Amino acid sequence: MIARRVGPTGLAVHPVGLGCMGMSWGYAESRRDDSVSVEVIRRALDAGPILLDTADAYGAGHNETLVGRALAGRRADAVVATKTGIVVDDLATRTLSRNASPERIRRCADASLRRLGVEAIDLYYLHRVDPDVPLAESWGALAELVRAGKVRRLGLSEVTREQASTAHAIHPVAAVQSELSLWTREPLDPETGISGWCAAHGACFVPFAPLGRGFLTGRYTGPGDFEAGDFRAGNPRFADEAFAANLRIVRAVERVAARHGATAAQVVLAWTLAQGDHVIPIPGTKQTRYLADNLAAGALLLTERDLGDLDAAPAATGSRY
Ligand SMILES: NC(=O)c1ccc[n+]([C@@H]2O[C@H](COP(=O)([O-])OP(=O)(O)OC[C@H]3O[C@@H](n4cnc5c(N)ncnc54)[C@H](OP(=O)(O)O)[C@@H]3O)[C@@H](O)[C@H]2O)c1
C-alpha cells in the first residue's frame, strides 16, 4: 500500500482515511453506538498513521470527544483533522448557520483541542467560508493559530479555485475537502475543479462522501431503507425515481468489482485514488467490517479499461443537497 502525504511537508498517511461524522449524526442514527465507534477508530489507528476526519459541528462536539477517547495513548497513529466555521444552532433539528469570525475561530480551536485531548490539531479546516466575514480575515485567524503552535496546517472545505488562491496567498493551503465520488465529479473539472488546483499548489485533495453517502456501495435497495431523520431520507438523489435511475451507476461499479473480486465500495474508493497521488479519500463508517473493506481499497489498482468504464457511468440524477 503506497502512503500519501497531507501537503508537501506533511506526514505520510494510509492512502484511505476515516470519516467519523456518521458516528455522531447523519446516517442510521438508531444504530449509533459510541463504544463500537471508538473500536472502529482504534482499528483504523492500527493501520496508521491514518487521516481521521471530524469537525466541531458533528454532533455539536460529540464527534470530537469520541475521536479524543479513541486517541488516548495512540496519538502517533493519527493525523487529526477537524473543522470550524459551522454553528449548530439546534442539535435536535440540525439547524446550522455559519460563523467564521476570528474571535469565534480562536474560541472553537481551544474547545476542539480540549475535546480531542491533543496538544495541536494536525489539520484545521475552515468548514465553510462565512459570507459575512471576508475569507482573508477567517484565514488570517487560522494562520495565527499555526504561529501559536495550536494547529500544524490549514485546510478549506467546499471552496472555489479563487477562494483557495486568496487563502494560499496569506498562508499555505495544505488540503481542500469537497464532495467527490462517481456521482459528484465537479472537483475534477479541468477548468474549474478544485482537485487540479490542489495538485498544482502542493495541497492534498480530500474527497468527502466518497461512497456517495453509502449509495455507491450497492447496499441499498430503495428509499424505504432510510429511517426518519437520516440525511438520505430527504435527499433528492435518494428519492424514488432518482434512486432507481442512480442504480445504473451502481451496476457499472459492480461490473468492475466483479473483474477484481472486490467490493463496490473498494472500486469507488480506488477510483478516487486513481484521480492523483494528492488524493486521500475519507470514507465514513461506524462498522469494523466496512472499515476493513475500505482500507483494503488502498491496494486495489484499477486498469485503464476499468477507469474508462467507470468514467462512462451515467451522471447522477438529483441534486446533491
Ligand atoms: N466537509 C464537509 O462538508 C463534509 C460533508 C460530509 C462529510 N464529510 C466528511 O466525510 C466523511 C465521509 O463522508 P460520509 O460519511 O458523509 O459519506 P460516505 O463515506 O460516502 O458514506 C458513508 C455511508 O457509507 C456506509 N459505508 C461505509 N463503508 C461501507 C462499505 N464498505 N460497504 C457498505 N457501506 C459502507 C456507511 O455505513 P455505516 O454508517 O453503517 O458504517 C455510511 O452509511 C464524513 O464522515 C465526514 O468526516 C465532510
Separation between Cα atoms, residue 9 and residue 185, nearest integer Å: 28
User: CB of 126 within 8 A of CB of 171?
Assistant: no
pTM here?
Answer: 0.98
CB of 37 closer than 6 A to ligand 1? no
Distance in Å, CA 35 to ligand 1 centroid: 18
- pLDDT tens for 261-300 read 999 999 999 999 999 999 999 999 999 999 999 999 999 9
Question: What pLDDT is attached to residue 255?
Answer: 98
- The H-or-E segment that residue 154 falls in is strand 151-157
CB of 85 closer than 6 A to ligand 1? no
Separation between Cα atoms, residue 35 and residue 49, nearest integer Å: 22
Among residues 58, 125, 220, 290, the one annotated as catalytic is 58
Residues of the chain with pLDDT below 70 are none
Question: What pLDDT is attached to residue 2?
Answer: 82
Q: Which of 213, 280, 291 to mutate to test the pocket of ligand 1 (most atoms within 8 A of CB)?
A: 213
Q: 3-state SS of 45-83?
A: HHCCCEEEECCCCCCCCHHHHHHHHHHCCCHHHEEEEEE
Question: What pLDDT is attached to residue 10?
Answer: 78
Q: For residue 63, give Cα distances in angstroms to 169, 243, 291.
A: 32, 29, 17
Q: For residue 213, give Cα distances in angstroms to 130, 183, 245.
A: 25, 10, 16
Q: Is 58 in the active site?
A: yes
Q: For residue 51, give Cα distances in angstroms to 14, 54, 295, 313.
A: 7, 10, 12, 29
CB of 230 closer than 6 A to ligand 1? no
Question: What pLDDT is attached to residue 174?
Answer: 97
